[in-house]
Structure 1
Amino acid sequence: MAVEYRCCEASFFIHIGIIVLLVLFAGLMSGLTLGLMSLSLVDLEVLAKSGTPQDRKHAAKILPVVKKQHLLLCTLLICNAASMEALPIFLDSLVTAWGAILISVTLILLFGEIIPQSVCSRYGLAIGAAVAPVVRVLVWICFPVAYPISKLLDLLLGDGHEALFRRAELKTLVTLHGNEAGKGGELTHDETTIIAGALELSEKKVRDAMTPLSKTFAIDINAKLDRKLMQEILDKGHSRVPVYYEEKTNIIGLILVKNLLSIHPDDEIPVKNVTIRKIPRVPGDMPLYDILNEFQKGHSHMAVVIKQSNLIQQTSNNVDGDLRLDIDSQKTNEGSMKTTNPIRRWKSYPDSQNTYRSSSRGKKWSRDAEASVLQIHDAPLPKLNEDEEAIGIITMEDVIEELLQEEIYDETDVQEDQ
């Protein structure tokens, strides 16, 4: 009798131990299902590269495990289902059938679902990194069953789960991380504004940032730099002034105001006798990012915006697919450059990168000082047709204002009271 009693007692404690292990195992699988599957590959890559030192270690351990998400999901669910199905079998030998159902449901609900998922949802990264070796072993054990199911899921649902944000979503995400949102974010108002401006800049065109020609100060190339005109230039406070021929829509170049410092107003020197620099001409639908890249090359911080897109012409002899800037010119008998058409014209060629380049050698806006000066001489200046009329001026400052989403005021600007 004593031996039989001891055997029953040993069997009872063995069953209790197995039940406890099954509940804990089911809880671990349930918690990992929520904890690991809620971590996208993008989140883990961000943590692995720019997280805290502890998060980097955890993310590096978890990344190889979650790369095949459907295989991991099938493994965790198979193990969870197996443990929950085995639990009533061991409970049935200890209590009645209805008691086994009641106890198993209570244990699974409380210790196998609620508590594990609550803990793993908060500490999923640390727990997932700690049990990553165990999960790898389980993947290999369940591989014969989990792999076919996971491949079927890949076929039906696709295997790409990289949750990359669109521009609008990134903008909203940045806004939520601002300290003004009241959610504990660290980004200041200026930081969120600049980031949002950078995200929106790719969607804006030159016409969105340009200054209309009606609001632009420009001078006639045949005008004289007398005291009145010099004073007007001084009052405007611009560092560069566009120069036009006959009509304001025919912008042919620009002068740097600093070059006028040595000119005496009483001499009344004609504008065409001073150094006039060539001014790039760009279509209104040119992306702001492209013109920003060109401005930073240093050739010019001002460009003329052209009205008509017919200025952009398709040519069949293009070899490299770049957008080039051509200048029609020819040599005079004296060896100097005579400009038959001093206006730069954009020609369009298909290009996947939408880059804007100049010269036949494919360099962006030549930085040669002599090449950037407009050679007038005594040649008659051309009258542009309607397709080449200027509609506005865009400067580096205009693009920066779009990036900052705020007006930039210098010493000569007059701010209106709000």
Structure 2
Amino acid sequence: MAVEYKCCEADFFIHILIIVLLVVFAGMMSGLTLGLMSMSLVDLEVLAKSGTPKDRKHAAKILPVVKKQHLLLCTLLICNAAAMEALPIFLDSLVTAWGAILISVTLILLFGEIIPQSVCSRHGLAIGATVAPIVQVLVWICFPVAYPISKLLDFLLGHGHVALFRRAELKTLVNLHGNEAGKGGELTHDETTIIAGALELTEKTAKDAMTPISETFTIDIHAKLDRELMGLILENGHSRMPVYYEHPTNIIGLILVKNLLTIHPEDEVPVKSVTIRRIPRSLAGSES
């Protein structure tokens, strides 16, 4: 009787241990399904090349596993389903059928779905890098079943595509990373303006970049650089000032404001005595 009692007790603890392992395994597969499959190849390649030293190390471990996305997805789902299906079998030997169903649903929902996915959604990179060797072993174990299904998915849905940003999406992404967006970005206003301007460059024409002549501040070539005019030039804030002859639309050149530093307003030097540079011109409709 004592031997039989010890055997029953040993079987009880073995079943409890198996149940705990199945719940942990199912939770790990569920969390990895969310954590690994939510990372695009572009994100991982960016982290592998320009992330922090720790992120580079983690991304380098995950990339070989994630490259075949459908094979990885099938492997994780097969392992998760196998663990969840096996759990009621071991519970049924300890409690009644209704108890087994209730306990298995509770354990799977709480410890196999909610908690693992919450953790992996926040720390998926680190966790994925840690268990990457285990996942590779599971891929080989499930390969006979997972590979045909993954090839079918490749045929029906196409291979895992690289999700590159379009020009407008990239511009919005840059704006969100600006420190003015209030989302913790490190880019300054000037940096976001320069990057956004470079992205828009191919869509802009010379006309879009020009300022209407009616809104420009121009200087008459016959004017004198007295205190009033010098004050207007400084107030305008530009590094170059267009110079016109007779009427404002007849622009003949420009002067560099830095060349006026040696001129005293009291001398009232004529504008025509200052070096006037040729202004770049764009001739619309001209033929080469």
The TM tier, using the shorter chain, reads 0.7 to 0.9
For the residue of structure 2 that corresponds to 1:159, the secondary structure is coil
What is the CA distance between 1:29 and its match in structure 2? 0.2
What is the CA distance between 1:180 and its match in structure 2? 1.9
The whole-number CA distance in structure 2 between the counterparts of 1:171 and 1:232 is 45
Deviation per residue, 1:309-345 (Å, 9 max, x gap): xx5xxxxxxxxxxxxxxxxxxxxxxxxxxxxxxxxx3
Which residue is equivalent to 1:170? 170
Name structure 1 gaps, 5 residues minimum. 218-228, 259-275, 278-300, 312-344, 347-418
Which residue is equivalent to 1:58? 58
The answer to whether 1:11 aligns with 2:2 is no
For the residue of structure 2 that corresponds to 1:231, the secondary structure is coil
What is the CA distance between 1:231 and its match in structure 2? 3.4
For the residue of structure 2 that corresponds to 1:95, the secondary structure is coil
Task: For 1:193-342, list aligned pairs within 5 A.
Answer: 193-210=193-210, 231=222, 302-306=280-284, 308=285
Which residue is equivalent to 1:157? 157
The whole-number CA distance in structure 1 between the counterparts of 2:216 and 2:118 is 64
Deviation per residue, 1:56-80 (Å, 9 max, x gap): 1000000110011111011000000
Which residue is equivalent to 2:103? 103
What is the CA distance between 1:197 and its match in structure 2? 1.5
The change in CA–CA distance for 1:214 and 1:15 in structure 2 (over 3 A counts) is closer
The whole-number CA distance in structure 1 between the counterparts of 2:160 and 2:24 is 32
The whole-number CA distance in structure 2 between the counterparts of 1:101 and 1:177 is 48
Deviates more, 1:230-239 or 1:189-198: 230-239
For the residue of structure 1 that corresponds to 2:222, the secondary structure is helix
The whole-number CA distance in structure 2 between the counterparts of 1:109 and 1:48 is 34
The whole-number CA distance in structure 1 between the counterparts of 2:78 and 2:14 is 24
Q: Is the 8 A contact 1:210 1:305 kept in 2?
A: no
Name structure 2 gaps, 5 residues minimum. 234-238, 257-276
Which residue is equivalent to 2:116? 116
The whole-number CA distance in structure 2 between the counterparts of 1:150 and 1:122 is 27
Which residue is equivalent to 2:91? 91
The whole-number CA distance in structure 2 between the counterparts of 1:67 and 1:186 is 30
Identity of aligned residues (%): 79
Deviation per residue, 1:128-161 (Å, 9 max, x gap): 0000000000001111111111111112211133
The whole-number CA distance in structure 1 between the counterparts of 2:75 and 2:44 is 20
What is the CA distance between 1:240 and its match in structure 2? 8.4
Amino acid at match of 2:75: T
The whole-number CA distance in structure 2 between the counterparts of 1:91 and 1:256 is 88
Amino acid at match of 1:132: A
What is the CA distance between 1:239 and its match in structure 2? 8.0
Amino acid at match of 2:158: G
Task: For 1:394-413, list aligned pairs within 5 A.
Answer: none
The change in CA–CA distance for 1:178 and 1:133 in structure 2 (over 3 A counts) is same
For the residue of structure 2 that corresponds to 1:29, the secondary structure is helix
What is the CA distance between 1:181 and its match in structure 2? 1.7
Amino acid at match of 1:98: W
Q: Is the 8 A contact 1:29 1:79 kept in 2?
A: yes
For the residue of structure 1 that corresponds to 2:103, the secondary structure is helix
The change in CA–CA distance for 1:9 and 1:194 in structure 2 (over 3 A counts) is same
Q: RMSD between aligned alpha carbons? A: 3.0
The whole-number CA distance in structure 2 between the counterparts of 1:73 and 1:53 is 28
The whole-number CA distance in structure 2 between the counterparts of 1:257 and 1:122 is 58
The change in CA–CA distance for 1:238 and 1:161 in structure 2 (over 3 A counts) is closer
Q: Is the 8 A contact 1:66 1:72 kept in 2?
A: yes
The whole-number CA distance in structure 1 between the counterparts of 2:244 and 2:144 is 75
Deviation per residue, 1:114-140 (Å, 9 max, x gap): 111111111110110000000000001
Q: Is the 8 A contact 1:207 1:305 kept in 2?
A: no
Q: Is the 8 A contact 2:35 2:121 kept in 1?
A: yes
What is the CA distance between 1:304 and its match in structure 2? 2.2
For the residue of structure 2 that corresponds to 1:303, the secondary structure is coil
Deviation per residue, 1:163-212 (Å, 9 max, x gap): 21112111211222222222222222222222211211121012222456
The whole-number CA distance in structure 1 between the counterparts of 2:105 and 2:216 is 78
Q: TM-score scaled to structure 2, two decimals?
A: 0.78
Which residue is equivalent to 1:21? 21
Deviation per residue, 1:72-100 (Å, 9 max, x gap): 01100000000000001111111110010
The whole-number CA distance in structure 2 between the counterparts of 1:52 and 1:59 is 10
Which residue is equivalent to 2:38? 38
Amino acid at match of 1:151: K
The change in CA–CA distance for 1:22 and 1:174 in structure 2 (over 3 A counts) is same
Q: TM-score scaled to structure 1, two decimals?
A: 0.55
Deviates more, 1:43-52 or 1:160-169: 160-169
The whole-number CA distance in structure 2 between the counterparts of 1:50 and 1:233 is 56
What is the CA distance between 1:49 and its match in structure 2? 1.1
